[in-house]
Amino acid sequence: MKLKLTLWLLSVLLKRALRRKPRFREQLERMRGLDWGIATEDLSVARYYRMTPKAITSGSGLPVDLDLELRFEDEATALKVLRKPTQQAFLDGMIAGKVRLVGDSADMNKLQKLLKYL
């Protein structure tokens, strides 16, 4: 339940940043949008985010056409990494086999640059 709430709150923060933070909008315009999602491996908790310079939409589940997916072994691992989403935390999770990246790692770098402006 905590992970679902955290992911929903992330969508609220993204939409708010698009409205209020010019640096966030500028970075998103340079990227020309990004479709990404976060989920547990068993897909019991999943949420996607479709971001364009004009709007951000979010919903439950994971569509198949996403650019990037972050898959976590379980809810506890996801909460631990998402509370302090540093590059080192993701790397440690990937090495331990608790975090899996589905998609291009360049998209992950774009996402991390964008999330700095939240």
| Overall pTM > 0.85 | yes
The tokens 């998609």 sit on which residue? Answer: 103
Q: Is pLDDT above 90 for 91?
A: no
What is the distance of C-alpha 37 from the center of its chain?
6
pLDDT in tens, 23-73: 999 999 998 889 999 999 999 999 999 999 999 999 999 999 999 999 999
Domains assigned to the chain: 2-115 (3.30.1050.10)
Residue 112's pLDDT band, with cuts at 50, 70 and 90, is: confident
The size of the chain, in residues, is 118
Secondary structure of 57-90 in HEC code, one letter for each residue: EEEECCCCCCCEEEEECCHHHHHHHHHCCCHHHH
Instruction: Report CA Rg, the chain.
Output: 13
